[in-house]
Amino acid sequence: MFDDDANRTRDVLTPKRRRSTRIGLVAGGLAAYWPQFPDLLPQLKESAAYVVERFQGMDVEVLDAGFVSDAQEAAAAAEQLRRVDLDLLVIFLTTYLTSSMVLPIAQRTQAPVLLIDLQPTEAMEHANFDTGKWLAYCGQCPVPEVGNVFRRAGIPFRSVTGHLKDEKAWSRIASWINAAHVRASLRHARHGLMGHLYPGMLDVSTDLTTVSTTFGSHVEVLEFDDLRVRVDQVTEAEVVARKELARSIFKLDDSVNDEDFSRGAKVSVGLDRLVEDFELDTLAYYHRGLDGEQHERLGAGIILGASLLTARGIPAAGEYELRTSIAQLASEALGAGGSFTEIQALNFRDDVVEMGHDGPAHLAVSSANPLLRGLGTYHGKRGWGVSVEFDVMHGPVTTFGIGQERDGSYVFVASEGEVKSGPLLAIGNTTSRVDFGIDPGEWVDNWSQTGIGHHWALSVGHRAQDFKAAADLLGLPFRQV
Protein backbone atom coordinates (compact mmCIF):
# COMPACT_ATOMS: atom_id res chain seq x y z
CA MET A 1 0.00 0.00 0.00
CA PHE A 2 2.76 2.46 0.93
CA ASP A 3 5.52 3.65 -1.39
CA ASP A 4 9.29 3.44 -0.79
CA ASP A 5 9.51 6.76 1.09
CA ALA A 6 6.70 5.68 3.40
CA ASN A 7 8.32 2.30 3.99
CA ARG A 8 11.59 4.01 4.88
CA THR A 9 9.71 6.16 7.38
CA ARG A 10 8.25 3.04 8.98
CA ASP A 11 11.70 1.45 9.11
CA VAL A 12 13.02 4.43 11.08
CA LEU A 13 9.96 4.74 13.34
CA THR A 14 9.05 1.51 15.13
CA PRO A 15 5.30 0.85 14.75
CA LYS A 16 3.26 0.31 17.90
CA ARG A 17 2.49 -3.35 18.53
CA ARG A 18 -1.07 -4.13 19.52
CA ARG A 19 -3.08 -7.20 20.45
CA SER A 20 -3.66 -9.36 17.38
CA THR A 21 -7.10 -9.55 15.82
CA ARG A 22 -8.65 -12.84 16.93
CA ILE A 23 -10.72 -14.87 14.49
CA GLY A 24 -12.62 -17.92 15.73
CA LEU A 25 -13.11 -20.57 13.06
CA VAL A 26 -15.28 -23.66 13.07
CA ALA A 27 -16.26 -25.90 10.14
CA GLY A 28 -19.13 -28.34 10.10
CA GLY A 29 -21.28 -30.87 8.31
CA LEU A 30 -23.94 -33.47 9.09
CA ALA A 31 -22.81 -36.68 10.85
CA ALA A 32 -25.52 -38.74 9.15
CA TYR A 33 -23.65 -38.42 5.87
CA TRP A 34 -20.34 -39.94 6.97
CA PRO A 35 -21.28 -43.64 7.08
CA GLN A 36 -23.39 -43.21 3.94
CA PHE A 37 -20.61 -41.59 1.88
CA PRO A 38 -17.17 -42.51 3.31
CA ASP A 39 -15.20 -40.25 0.95
CA LEU A 40 -17.16 -37.11 1.86
CA LEU A 41 -15.78 -36.21 5.30
CA PRO A 42 -12.07 -36.43 4.27
CA GLN A 43 -12.80 -34.15 1.33
CA LEU A 44 -14.61 -31.61 3.52
CA LYS A 45 -11.84 -31.65 6.14
CA GLU A 46 -9.33 -30.98 3.37
CA SER A 47 -11.37 -27.96 2.34
CA ALA A 48 -11.50 -26.81 5.97
CA ALA A 49 -7.70 -27.09 6.22
CA TYR A 50 -7.35 -24.90 3.13
CA VAL A 51 -9.66 -22.29 4.66
CA VAL A 52 -7.62 -22.27 7.89
CA GLU A 53 -4.45 -21.77 5.86
CA ARG A 54 -5.96 -18.81 3.99
CA PHE A 55 -7.03 -17.15 7.23
CA GLN A 56 -3.62 -17.67 8.79
CA GLY A 57 -2.17 -15.59 5.96
CA MET A 58 -4.38 -12.61 6.83
CA ASP A 59 -2.38 -11.14 9.73
CA VAL A 60 -4.82 -12.49 12.34
CA GLU A 61 -4.67 -14.91 15.23
CA VAL A 62 -6.76 -17.89 14.12
CA LEU A 63 -8.42 -19.92 16.87
CA ASP A 64 -9.50 -23.10 15.08
CA ALA A 65 -12.18 -25.09 16.90
CA GLY A 66 -12.01 -27.86 14.32
CA PHE A 67 -14.69 -29.73 12.43
CA VAL A 68 -18.06 -30.46 14.09
CA SER A 69 -20.56 -33.09 12.96
CA ASP A 70 -23.40 -32.92 15.49
CA ALA A 71 -24.91 -30.71 18.19
CA GLN A 72 -22.71 -32.18 20.94
CA GLU A 73 -19.49 -31.43 19.07
CA ALA A 74 -20.83 -27.98 18.21
CA ALA A 75 -21.47 -27.30 21.90
CA ALA A 76 -17.90 -28.31 22.73
CA ALA A 77 -16.58 -25.96 20.02
CA ALA A 78 -18.79 -23.18 21.37
CA GLU A 79 -17.33 -23.66 24.84
CA GLN A 80 -13.79 -23.59 23.46
CA LEU A 81 -14.39 -20.35 21.56
CA ARG A 82 -16.35 -18.80 24.45
CA ARG A 83 -13.22 -18.70 26.58
CA VAL A 84 -11.38 -16.37 24.21
CA ASP A 85 -12.15 -12.79 23.30
CA LEU A 86 -13.04 -13.09 19.59
CA ASP A 87 -13.25 -10.16 17.22
CA LEU A 88 -15.04 -12.23 14.56
CA LEU A 89 -16.55 -15.72 14.49
CA VAL A 90 -16.33 -17.50 11.12
CA ILE A 91 -18.50 -20.57 10.54
CA PHE A 92 -17.62 -22.61 7.45
CA LEU A 93 -20.65 -24.49 6.14
CA THR A 94 -18.97 -27.25 4.15
CA THR A 95 -22.21 -29.09 3.37
CA TYR A 96 -25.66 -29.27 4.87
CA LEU A 97 -25.82 -29.13 8.67
CA THR A 98 -28.68 -28.32 10.99
CA SER A 99 -29.19 -24.87 12.43
CA SER A 100 -29.24 -26.45 15.90
CA MET A 101 -25.50 -27.06 15.46
CA VAL A 102 -24.71 -23.47 14.54
CA LEU A 103 -26.92 -21.45 16.89
CA PRO A 104 -25.19 -22.28 20.20
CA ILE A 105 -21.77 -21.39 18.77
CA ALA A 106 -22.99 -17.91 17.82
CA GLN A 107 -24.90 -17.47 21.08
CA ARG A 108 -22.09 -18.43 23.44
CA THR A 109 -19.18 -16.67 21.74
CA GLN A 110 -21.12 -13.37 21.50
CA ALA A 111 -18.92 -12.22 18.63
CA PRO A 112 -19.99 -10.90 15.21
CA VAL A 113 -20.74 -13.83 12.91
CA LEU A 114 -19.57 -14.45 9.35
CA LEU A 115 -20.95 -17.49 7.52
CA ILE A 116 -18.89 -18.77 4.60
CA ASP A 117 -19.85 -21.54 2.19
CA LEU A 118 -17.22 -22.32 -0.41
CA GLN A 119 -17.90 -25.28 -2.65
CA PRO A 120 -14.84 -27.20 -3.93
CA THR A 121 -14.81 -25.84 -7.51
CA GLU A 122 -16.73 -23.50 -9.80
CA ALA A 123 -19.26 -26.17 -10.80
CA MET A 124 -20.02 -29.88 -10.50
CA GLU A 125 -19.07 -32.34 -13.21
CA HIS A 126 -22.63 -33.59 -13.46
CA ALA A 127 -22.01 -36.65 -15.61
CA ASN A 128 -19.48 -38.05 -13.13
CA PHE A 129 -21.19 -37.06 -9.84
CA ASP A 130 -23.12 -39.24 -7.43
CA THR A 131 -24.93 -38.13 -4.28
CA GLY A 132 -21.79 -38.15 -2.13
CA LYS A 133 -19.88 -35.91 -4.53
CA TRP A 134 -22.86 -33.58 -4.83
CA LEU A 135 -23.07 -33.10 -1.06
CA ALA A 136 -19.60 -31.50 -1.05
CA TYR A 137 -21.22 -28.74 -3.14
CA CYS A 138 -24.17 -28.26 -0.79
CA GLY A 139 -22.75 -25.70 1.63
CA GLN A 140 -25.21 -23.11 0.31
CA CYS A 141 -28.16 -25.32 1.25
CA PRO A 142 -28.28 -24.43 4.98
CA VAL A 143 -27.56 -20.68 4.60
CA PRO A 144 -31.26 -19.65 4.40
CA GLU A 145 -32.09 -21.95 7.33
CA VAL A 146 -29.30 -20.60 9.49
CA GLY A 147 -30.14 -17.06 8.46
CA ASN A 148 -33.76 -17.51 9.52
CA VAL A 149 -32.80 -18.91 12.91
CA PHE A 150 -30.25 -16.15 13.52
CA ARG A 151 -32.86 -13.50 12.74
CA ARG A 152 -35.30 -15.13 15.13
CA ALA A 153 -32.56 -15.24 17.76
CA GLY A 154 -31.63 -11.59 17.23
CA ILE A 155 -28.12 -12.44 16.00
CA PRO A 156 -26.83 -10.25 13.15
CA PHE A 157 -24.85 -12.20 10.57
CA ARG A 158 -23.05 -11.78 7.27
CA SER A 159 -22.38 -14.40 4.62
CA VAL A 160 -19.99 -14.98 1.73
CA THR A 161 -20.88 -17.62 -0.85
CA GLY A 162 -18.49 -18.81 -3.53
CA HIS A 163 -16.07 -21.62 -4.30
CA LEU A 164 -12.92 -22.62 -2.48
CA LYS A 165 -10.42 -20.80 -4.69
CA ASP A 166 -12.76 -18.03 -5.80
CA GLU A 167 -10.68 -14.86 -5.33
CA LYS A 168 -13.78 -12.68 -5.61
CA ALA A 169 -15.21 -14.48 -2.60
CA TRP A 170 -11.90 -14.24 -0.74
CA SER A 171 -11.83 -10.51 -1.47
CA ARG A 172 -15.23 -10.19 0.21
CA ILE A 173 -14.00 -12.30 3.12
CA ALA A 174 -10.91 -10.10 3.38
CA SER A 175 -13.16 -7.06 3.73
CA TRP A 176 -14.76 -8.64 6.82
CA ILE A 177 -11.32 -9.47 8.20
CA ASN A 178 -10.32 -5.84 7.68
CA ALA A 179 -13.48 -4.83 9.51
CA ALA A 180 -12.49 -7.14 12.35
CA HIS A 181 -9.12 -5.35 12.51
CA VAL A 182 -11.00 -2.07 13.01
CA ARG A 183 -13.29 -3.56 15.63
CA ALA A 184 -10.35 -5.08 17.50
CA SER A 185 -8.41 -1.81 17.47
CA LEU A 186 -11.35 0.25 18.75
CA ARG A 187 -12.51 -2.27 21.35
CA HIS A 188 -9.14 -2.31 23.08
CA ALA A 189 -7.99 1.27 22.43
CA ARG A 190 -6.94 3.79 25.04
CA HIS A 191 -7.61 7.30 23.72
CA GLY A 192 -5.76 10.23 25.23
CA LEU A 193 -7.66 13.53 25.42
CA MET A 194 -5.46 16.40 26.57
CA GLY A 195 -6.30 20.05 27.19
CA HIS A 196 -9.68 21.55 26.38
CA LEU A 197 -12.20 22.05 23.58
CA TYR A 198 -11.34 24.53 20.84
CA PRO A 199 -13.66 27.42 21.82
CA GLY A 200 -16.81 27.54 19.72
CA MET A 201 -16.34 24.26 17.81
CA LEU A 202 -19.60 22.69 18.95
CA ASP A 203 -19.30 19.79 16.51
CA VAL A 204 -16.07 18.62 18.15
CA SER A 205 -17.68 18.19 21.56
CA THR A 206 -18.00 14.46 22.26
CA ASP A 207 -19.71 12.64 25.13
CA LEU A 208 -16.82 10.53 26.45
CA THR A 209 -19.15 7.88 27.83
CA THR A 210 -20.49 7.14 24.35
CA VAL A 211 -16.96 6.33 23.18
CA SER A 212 -16.80 3.52 25.74
CA THR A 213 -20.39 2.34 25.28
CA THR A 214 -20.14 2.33 21.47
CA PHE A 215 -16.66 0.94 20.87
CA GLY A 216 -15.51 -0.47 24.22
CA SER A 217 -12.61 2.01 24.20
CA HIS A 218 -11.20 3.81 27.23
CA VAL A 219 -10.71 7.58 27.25
CA GLU A 220 -7.87 8.84 29.42
CA VAL A 221 -8.40 12.50 30.30
CA LEU A 222 -5.02 14.24 30.50
CA GLU A 223 -3.74 17.64 31.60
CA PHE A 224 -1.14 19.64 29.72
CA ASP A 225 0.84 19.43 32.94
CA ASP A 226 1.10 15.67 32.37
CA LEU A 227 3.06 16.57 29.26
CA ARG A 228 4.92 19.54 30.78
CA VAL A 229 6.48 17.50 33.58
CA ARG A 230 7.72 14.88 31.13
CA VAL A 231 9.10 17.47 28.72
CA ASP A 232 11.00 19.13 31.57
CA GLN A 233 12.74 15.80 32.22
CA VAL A 234 14.09 15.49 28.66
CA THR A 235 17.90 15.81 28.45
CA GLU A 236 19.91 17.79 25.92
CA ALA A 237 21.33 14.55 24.53
CA GLU A 238 17.80 13.29 23.89
CA VAL A 239 16.96 16.54 22.10
CA VAL A 240 20.01 16.17 19.85
CA ALA A 241 19.08 12.57 19.05
CA ARG A 242 15.48 13.50 18.24
CA LYS A 243 16.65 16.28 15.92
CA GLU A 244 18.84 13.78 14.08
CA LEU A 245 15.86 11.44 13.75
CA ALA A 246 13.79 14.28 12.35
CA ARG A 247 16.51 15.19 9.84
CA SER A 248 16.50 11.58 8.59
CA ILE A 249 12.76 11.82 7.84
CA PHE A 250 12.07 15.45 6.97
CA LYS A 251 13.54 17.92 4.57
CA LEU A 252 14.21 21.06 6.65
CA ASP A 253 13.14 24.32 5.06
CA ASP A 254 15.35 27.39 5.51
CA SER A 255 12.54 28.93 7.56
CA VAL A 256 13.12 26.46 10.42
CA ASN A 257 14.48 28.27 13.47
CA ASP A 258 16.88 26.06 15.44
CA GLU A 259 15.42 27.14 18.77
CA ASP A 260 11.92 26.19 17.62
CA PHE A 261 13.28 22.96 16.11
CA SER A 262 14.92 22.06 19.42
CA ARG A 263 11.74 22.89 21.28
CA GLY A 264 9.69 20.64 18.98
CA ALA A 265 12.24 17.83 19.43
CA LYS A 266 12.09 18.17 23.21
CA VAL A 267 8.30 18.11 23.24
CA SER A 268 8.43 15.07 20.93
CA VAL A 269 10.49 13.06 23.42
CA GLY A 270 8.11 14.09 26.20
CA LEU A 271 5.13 13.05 24.09
CA ASP A 272 6.63 9.60 23.60
CA ARG A 273 6.92 9.22 27.38
CA LEU A 274 3.36 10.43 27.90
CA VAL A 275 2.06 7.88 25.41
CA GLU A 276 4.13 5.11 26.96
CA ASP A 277 3.19 5.94 30.56
CA PHE A 278 -0.54 6.05 29.82
CA GLU A 279 -0.40 3.24 27.21
CA LEU A 280 -2.19 5.43 24.67
CA ASP A 281 -3.34 4.32 21.23
CA THR A 282 -4.42 7.81 20.12
CA LEU A 283 -4.07 11.41 21.28
CA ALA A 284 -6.32 14.41 20.71
CA TYR A 285 -5.23 17.73 22.18
CA TYR A 286 -5.69 21.50 22.26
CA HIS A 287 -4.64 24.40 24.49
CA ARG A 288 -5.29 28.05 23.70
CA GLY A 289 -2.70 29.74 25.92
CA LEU A 290 -1.79 33.41 26.21
CA ASP A 291 1.30 35.57 25.67
CA GLY A 292 3.69 32.67 25.21
CA GLU A 293 3.03 31.03 28.60
CA GLN A 294 4.37 27.50 29.15
CA HIS A 295 1.27 25.60 28.10
CA GLU A 296 0.90 27.69 24.96
CA ARG A 297 4.50 26.87 24.05
CA LEU A 298 3.85 23.18 24.67
CA GLY A 299 0.78 23.19 22.45
CA ALA A 300 2.62 25.06 19.71
CA GLY A 301 5.51 22.61 19.86
CA ILE A 302 3.50 19.42 19.50
CA ILE A 303 3.21 19.11 15.71
CA LEU A 304 6.60 17.46 15.12
CA GLY A 305 6.18 14.88 17.88
CA ALA A 306 2.53 14.24 17.09
CA SER A 307 3.42 13.58 13.44
CA LEU A 308 6.13 11.11 14.49
CA LEU A 309 3.64 9.36 16.78
CA THR A 310 1.06 9.15 13.98
CA ALA A 311 3.63 7.62 11.65
CA ARG A 312 4.22 4.92 14.29
CA GLY A 313 0.52 4.02 14.28
CA ILE A 314 -0.48 6.19 17.27
CA PRO A 315 -2.73 8.75 15.58
CA ALA A 316 -2.76 12.31 16.88
CA ALA A 317 -5.29 15.03 16.14
CA GLY A 318 -5.31 18.70 17.09
CA GLU A 319 -8.24 20.86 18.16
CA TYR A 320 -9.39 18.28 20.72
CA GLU A 321 -10.80 16.14 17.90
CA LEU A 322 -11.38 12.83 19.68
CA ARG A 323 -13.74 11.38 17.08
CA THR A 324 -11.21 12.10 14.34
CA SER A 325 -8.34 10.48 16.24
CA ILE A 326 -10.60 7.43 16.57
CA ALA A 327 -11.28 7.53 12.82
CA GLN A 328 -7.53 7.75 12.21
CA LEU A 329 -7.00 4.66 14.37
CA ALA A 330 -9.65 2.79 12.37
CA SER A 331 -7.85 3.76 9.17
CA GLU A 332 -4.51 2.71 10.67
CA ALA A 333 -6.02 -0.69 11.49
CA LEU A 334 -6.67 -1.16 7.77
CA GLY A 335 -3.10 -0.26 6.89
CA ALA A 336 -4.42 2.84 5.11
CA GLY A 337 -2.72 5.56 7.15
CA GLY A 338 -5.21 8.25 8.06
CA SER A 339 -4.03 11.87 8.27
CA PHE A 340 -5.80 14.67 10.18
CA THR A 341 -7.80 16.58 7.56
CA GLU A 342 -10.30 19.37 6.87
CA ILE A 343 -11.45 21.28 3.79
CA GLN A 344 -9.07 24.09 2.82
CA ALA A 345 -10.35 25.39 -0.52
CA LEU A 346 -12.03 24.36 -3.76
CA ASN A 347 -10.50 24.49 -7.23
CA PHE A 348 -13.34 24.68 -9.76
CA ARG A 349 -10.86 24.95 -12.63
CA ASP A 350 -9.38 21.51 -11.94
CA ASP A 351 -12.47 20.04 -10.18
CA VAL A 352 -10.58 19.16 -6.99
CA VAL A 353 -11.16 19.69 -3.29
CA GLU A 354 -8.05 20.92 -1.52
CA MET A 355 -7.89 19.40 1.95
CA GLY A 356 -5.39 18.89 4.75
CA HIS A 357 -4.49 20.55 8.06
CA ASP A 358 -1.84 22.56 9.87
CA GLY A 359 -1.46 19.96 12.60
CA PRO A 360 -0.11 16.45 13.02
CA ALA A 361 0.26 14.49 9.80
CA HIS A 362 0.64 10.81 8.90
CA LEU A 363 4.15 10.76 7.49
CA ALA A 364 3.79 7.24 6.09
CA VAL A 365 1.24 8.41 3.50
CA SER A 366 3.27 11.35 2.20
CA SER A 367 3.87 11.47 -1.55
CA ALA A 368 7.55 12.33 -0.91
CA ASN A 369 9.84 13.20 1.97
CA PRO A 370 7.78 15.57 4.15
CA LEU A 371 8.96 19.12 4.72
CA LEU A 372 9.46 20.76 8.10
CA ARG A 373 8.63 24.47 7.80
CA GLY A 374 9.05 27.20 10.40
CA LEU A 375 5.98 29.34 11.06
CA GLY A 376 6.00 32.61 12.95
CA THR A 377 2.21 32.46 13.18
CA TYR A 378 -0.26 29.56 13.42
CA HIS A 379 -3.55 30.53 11.81
CA GLY A 380 -6.42 30.55 14.29
CA LYS A 381 -4.14 29.41 17.11
CA ARG A 382 -1.68 31.14 19.38
CA GLY A 383 1.99 30.32 19.31
CA TRP A 384 4.63 29.60 16.70
CA GLY A 385 7.11 26.89 15.79
CA VAL A 386 7.76 24.15 13.24
CA SER A 387 5.01 22.55 11.17
CA VAL A 388 4.76 19.66 8.71
CA GLU A 389 4.07 20.12 5.01
CA PHE A 390 3.31 17.50 2.31
CA ASP A 391 0.57 16.10 0.11
CA VAL A 392 -0.76 12.55 0.39
CA MET A 393 0.61 10.10 -2.16
CA HIS A 394 -1.14 10.47 -5.49
CA GLY A 395 -3.79 7.95 -6.44
CA PRO A 396 -6.92 6.53 -4.79
CA VAL A 397 -7.86 7.81 -1.33
CA THR A 398 -10.83 7.64 1.02
CA THR A 399 -12.04 10.34 3.36
CA PHE A 400 -13.36 8.72 6.53
CA GLY A 401 -14.85 10.26 9.63
CA ILE A 402 -17.23 9.62 12.50
CA GLY A 403 -20.35 11.75 12.63
CA GLN A 404 -22.64 12.13 15.62
CA GLU A 405 -26.43 12.20 15.46
CA ARG A 406 -29.07 14.12 17.40
CA ASP A 407 -29.48 11.23 19.85
CA GLY A 408 -25.71 11.06 20.40
CA SER A 409 -25.17 7.90 18.34
CA TYR A 410 -22.32 7.62 15.86
CA VAL A 411 -22.28 7.12 12.11
CA PHE A 412 -19.38 6.10 9.86
CA VAL A 413 -18.99 8.36 6.81
CA ALA A 414 -16.73 7.82 3.80
CA SER A 415 -16.09 9.08 0.28
CA GLU A 416 -13.70 7.73 -2.33
CA GLY A 417 -11.62 9.97 -4.57
CA GLU A 418 -8.21 10.37 -6.13
CA VAL A 419 -5.33 12.67 -5.21
CA LYS A 420 -4.14 14.57 -8.28
CA SER A 421 -0.93 16.50 -8.85
CA GLY A 422 -0.99 20.26 -9.13
CA PRO A 423 -0.13 23.52 -7.34
CA LEU A 424 -0.22 23.52 -3.53
CA LEU A 425 0.13 26.14 -0.83
CA ALA A 426 3.53 26.29 0.87
CA ILE A 427 2.34 27.38 4.31
CA GLY A 428 3.33 24.51 6.59
CA ASN A 429 0.13 22.55 6.02
CA THR A 430 -0.58 19.08 4.70
CA THR A 431 -2.55 19.71 1.52
CA SER A 432 -3.91 17.28 -1.06
CA ARG A 433 -5.92 17.90 -4.23
CA VAL A 434 -8.72 15.31 -4.22
CA ASP A 435 -10.92 14.62 -7.25
CA PHE A 436 -14.21 12.98 -6.19
CA GLY A 437 -15.56 12.72 -9.73
CA ILE A 438 -18.19 15.43 -9.26
CA ASP A 439 -18.29 19.21 -8.98
CA PRO A 440 -16.29 20.17 -5.85
CA GLY A 441 -19.13 22.34 -4.55
CA GLU A 442 -21.61 19.50 -4.90
CA TRP A 443 -19.24 17.20 -3.04
CA VAL A 444 -18.98 19.63 -0.13
CA ASP A 445 -22.76 19.95 0.02
CA ASN A 446 -23.29 16.18 -0.07
CA TRP A 447 -20.48 15.51 2.43
CA SER A 448 -21.88 18.08 4.87
CA GLN A 449 -25.31 16.40 4.81
CA THR A 450 -23.96 13.15 6.30
CA GLY A 451 -23.44 14.26 9.91
CA ILE A 452 -19.67 14.50 9.52
CA GLY A 453 -17.89 17.08 11.67
CA HIS A 454 -15.21 19.64 10.85
CA HIS A 455 -12.40 17.05 10.57
CA TRP A 456 -11.80 13.52 9.29
CA ALA A 457 -9.05 11.09 8.29
CA LEU A 458 -7.62 11.03 4.77
CA SER A 459 -6.77 7.39 4.03
CA VAL A 460 -4.82 5.78 1.22
CA GLY A 461 -6.71 3.52 -1.19
CA HIS A 462 -10.40 3.04 -1.89
CA ARG A 463 -11.55 1.63 1.46
CA ALA A 464 -15.24 2.53 1.67
CA GLN A 465 -16.25 -1.14 1.57
CA ASP A 466 -13.98 -1.91 4.51
CA PHE A 467 -15.34 1.01 6.55
CA LYS A 468 -18.89 -0.10 5.68
CA ALA A 469 -18.09 -3.61 6.89
CA ALA A 470 -16.54 -2.22 10.08
CA ALA A 471 -19.67 -0.17 10.73
CA ASP A 472 -21.71 -3.36 10.32
CA LEU A 473 -19.60 -5.27 12.88
CA LEU A 474 -19.91 -2.35 15.31
CA GLY A 475 -23.66 -1.99 14.77
CA LEU A 476 -23.40 1.53 13.32
CA PRO A 477 -24.98 3.13 10.25
CA PHE A 478 -22.77 3.91 7.27
CA ARG A 479 -23.09 6.72 4.75
CA GLN A 480 -21.07 7.10 1.57
CA VAL A 481 -20.80 10.17 -0.64
CATH number where 165 lies: 3.40.50.10940
- 351, pLDDT greater than 60: yes
Same domain, 176 and 231: no
Give me the pLDDT at residue 8, please.
Answer: 54
Same domain, 219 and 363: yes
- Mean predicted confidence (pLDDT) in 430-434: 87
Distances (CA, A) of 338 to 26, 313, 377, 457: 34, 9, 26, 5
- Mean predicted confidence (pLDDT) in 274-289: 93
Count: domains in the chain: 2
Full-model pTM: 0.91
- 238, pLDDT greater than 60: yes
Domain extent at residue 376 = 188-480
Non-local CB neighbours of 313 within 8 Å, separated by 6+ positions: 15, 16, 18, 332
CATH number at residue 415: 3.20.14
Q: How far apart are CA 152 and CA 89, in angstroms?
A: 19
Beta strand spans in 29-78 (E): 61-68
- 4, pLDDT greater than 80: no
Q: Name the 3-class secondary structure at 241.
A: helix
Instruction: For the beta carbon of residue 328, count every other beta carbon within 10 angstroms.
Output: 34
Q: Determine the length of the chain.
A: 481
Same domain, 268 and 293: yes
pLDDT band with cut points at 50, 70 and 90 for residue 9: low
- 87, pLDDT greater than 60: yes
Give me the pLDDT at residue 79, please.
Answer: 94
Same domain, 201 and 82: no
Same domain, 249 and 396: yes
Same domain, 203 and 161: no
Q: What is the largest CA-CA distance in the chain?
A: 86
Same domain, 416 and 472: yes
- 114, pLDDT greater than 70: yes
